Structure 1
């Protein structure tokens, strides 16, 4: 994790102290993990970072703090007081009520965060907060510190979301597709694929608060890179009227096994262990296996699990399927999965619990990924040159699907047209996996494009690459200009 002397010279050749960033992630694995990677990225280049969070989240990140301490890097995990009953999402939490409860509960952190910042011997250089933490705006203003917002989604989605709000789309009862104005490419959205259930007055009030938090920020940080989304980054920056720092893929700067493991939520690790999974993959052919995983929030009922399993079996392709412990709670589901493994022995593998997604995607045997289209998963897959079968469930996932299928050309939609929300059956899964993993000119071109994007991702973080240069500019922008004693 140690930075080179050349990189450190950006911040350490001056008599002034290095810039100090206070990072405020949204609790929840999909938001916290990229913020942890960003923290590591900043300290490796000579900055000081304080990542502030709740007690439960802080406990999960202890491995990150321990590794930074051993490497003598100035990364601190700061635990703010927070009611235990509000600290985290409950099981099966991918619904509007639970999201909103969490978002609103986090407003209680405003006072403790301000107290922490005011107690520091020097005022920090910048606060970087998740866009779903708009309460940080008041804190930053009160303590006189610049603030950037971090949007966990693709820039494609972020830009589209801004345009939809600006033009007042989807506020009527019309469920037809709407073309989004001002996008560099043609994009259609519908109420069904735009989180249409997020329409309660309480939710609308929070969305407006979040929008105001982004409007009043001093800039934005995105987990993407210019060779993937340059046209959307340029348009987003123009629409916001403030700097947009494309610093991704964050995780490519945090690649050793111990660091990767420390950033994950391993409350329920796989019973077979990562080594056993890797050993099984070692026996498989080059790019032969389809990896199947649906992120940290999606929970499938047994009926849907059966459709997934039958579809993978019917595709005839080798697969590695990660199933959550909560999805195998019933004896019937466990027995059915055991029978599936018996029928597909030597070709299929079902893993229950947590495994390292980065370790799997980087394995030579993985040739495709069936994903829920969360941006973290898509970016990790593309950066490893692995094309995808797309199965969005909620939120930004539908537009992320449009990006990878229609714009980048590295995905196969499980449902067909990207704007539909029809039920997914075993035939859809078998068809999509066969199409992704098969031969033919179209499949080969899809793999070629994805491999090229993966090479560009690594080039972006290398010295002289767009991400490396953007990070240099960010650090220089927040270098202390004089005494900041409080």
Structure 2
């Protein structure tokens, strides 16, 4: 039997155990997994809680992460809608509710003395699931940290919705109100219009989380011990200074994929192993290799968004009419009609030619870093925005929901690294914007994009602000564990 002294010595030498719980969307998981790998590289014991579907997808596309990081383990949970990935983009409300209820049970199990795992010292939870910790933090006596995977500017917009309602800047009165400027968000005065606020400010869509819920979650993050964000000071400094008045323990760690690569580079074994992604489809990369430098427009609208056939055909014709080669990622479930009709229009299925490469999946970071890519047509999800930014690739933004309308406004009006095409889907506009980005204003956008890319890499590189913030966070995490 171990003595008290032996037990204390064992507890002191055992690495701290952190439990991480992301929302089960691919974008959320990708971001928070980068943090999990960073903590594993920093000698923490990390348990990552996800659905079986997401776990299987990670194994397929990201190689054997557990072999690379022996102290990072995956736990799975979920049944019902959580086992049906086809529903992920169609009923986010039910997905969130089941994730919270089923995830809470699994969290409680993993934190129990009989879990077979080392005692959990801290839980890092996706802020979109912030309601999960309302009971668990007090019940289990474990510190809770929130990870906000969206941009700081969208987070700040959600946080200010109650003020906008109080001063009658919300609700939006209709289409004729969309270009009215919002003046009561500190640090964003006269920058955003009604159409640039997070999409739910326009009204709720069936199957989505409510605006009330997302505003509650923004305010609720004040109860967390700390808030983590995938952004950097040179990018969103004015908004971050406003947020820190309400969230004093806010750590900016972004761009996380650059920070992770910096850390891996300092551990040669991990860097060498990280390239094992046997099942990636390399077709698009071989196609890119045959294209001239900066000639290709890369098109991808993320892992969740669903569009109509008519919208996709307008984009198709606009791209074709631009006379520029393009690489387009079209998921099998990207197109849906109200009557349930799914599937790609015949023109797209048959349309691959010398100027078009259509694939169902692509290694996005690698694509954006390719010399042939000169522009990115994106849905303005935060991961895609940061990845394009780091690669120095200008953007055409076509946002749909969540934080995307706010991100796209900042891309065009604050960072000056692209064009905002929100609320329009017309082949003539697509053609014009592609030519503006790739020809008429190419030098202007490339100059801005390259300058911002340098700042992003410097921030997450050794000695940069995000790099230093990560080390401060590590020390803080050790202290609370």
Task: Decide: shared fold, TM above 0.5.
Answer: yes
- Contact 1:155–1:224 under 8 Å retained in 2: yes
**1:289-300 → structure 2 map (5 Å cutoff):** 289-300=296-307
Aligned equivalent of 2:433: 432
**What secondary structure sits across from 1:290 in the alignment?**
strand
1:348 has 2:347 as partner: no
Aligned equivalent of 1:389: 396
**1:5-404 → structure 2 map (5 Å cutoff):** 16-62=13-59, 67-80=64-77, 82=78, 84-87=79-82, 91=86, 93-94=88-89, 98-108=91-101, 109-119=103-113, 122-134=118-130, 135-168=132-165, 171-172=170-171, 174-175=173-174, 176=177, 177=180, 178-184=182-188, 186-190=190-194, 194-195=199-200, 196-198=202-204, 203=210, 206-207=213-214, 209-238=216-245, 240-254=246-260, 259=274, 274-327=281-334, 333=344, 335-341=346-352, 345-351=353-359, 353-404=360-411
Tell me by how many angstroms 1:332 deviates.
8.8
Tell me by how many angstroms 1:71 deviates.
3.0
Aligned equivalent of 1:473: 472
**What secondary structure sits across from 1:149 in the alignment?**
strand
Q: Deviations over 1:209-238 (max 9, x none)?
A: 524531211121111112222222222111
Aligned equivalent of 1:450: 449
Partners of 2:85 and 2:70 in 1: CA distance: 34
Unaligned ranges ≥5, structure 2 = 1-10, 262-270
Tell me by how many angstroms 1:126 deviates.
2.1
Aligned equivalent of 2:6: none
Q: 1:218 to 1:189 in 2, by over 3 A?
A: farther
Q: Which moved more, 1:174-183 or 1:19-28?
A: 174-183
Q: Deviations over 1:244-280 (max 9, x none)?
A: 1111111224556974786xxx9xx8xxx63221111
Q: 1:296 to 1:389 in 2, by over 3 A?
A: same
Q: 1:62 to 1:349 in 2, by over 3 A?
A: closer
RMSD: 3.0
- Contact 2:20–2:48 under 8 Å retained in 1: yes
- Contact 2:394–2:417 under 8 Å retained in 1: yes
Provide the aligned length of Structure 1 versus Structure 2.
Answer: 444
Q: 1:33 to 1:332 in 2, by over 3 A?
A: closer
Aligned equivalent of 1:418: none
Aligned equivalent of 1:8: none
Q: 1:331 to 1:224 in 2, by over 3 A?
A: closer
Q: 1:78 to 1:402 in 2, by over 3 A?
A: same
- Contact 2:319–2:434 under 8 Å retained in 1: yes
- Contact 1:17–1:480 under 8 Å retained in 2: no
Partners of 2:287 and 2:125 in 1: CA distance: 40
**What secondary structure sits across from 1:324 in the alignment?**
coil
Q: 1:260 to 1:307 in 2, by over 3 A?
A: farther
Partners of 2:136 and 2:110 in 1: CA distance: 11
Query: Which of 408, 412, 415 pairs up with 1:408?
Result: 415
- Contact 2:26–2:54 under 8 Å retained in 1: no
Aligned equivalent of 1:6: none
Tell me by how many angstroms 1:38 deviates.
1.4
Q: Deviations over 1:15-38 (max 9, x none)?
A: 644333211100011211111111
Tell me by how many angstroms 1:241 deviates.
3.4
Tell me by how many angstroms 1:324 deviates.
1.5
- Contact 1:28–1:89 under 8 Å retained in 2: no
**What secondary structure sits across from 1:478 in the alignment?**
helix
Partners of 2:219 and 2:205 in 1: CA distance: 18
Tell me by how many angstroms 1:368 deviates.
0.4
Partners of 1:15 and 1:332 in 2: CA distance: 57
Q: Deviations over 1:297-319 (max 9, x none)?
A: 12232222221111001111121
Partners of 2:342 and 2:226 in 1: CA distance: 51
Q: Which moved more, 1:137-146 or 1:427-436?
A: 137-146
Q: 1:335 to 1:224 in 2, by over 3 A?
A: same
**What secondary structure sits across from 1:228 in the alignment?**
helix
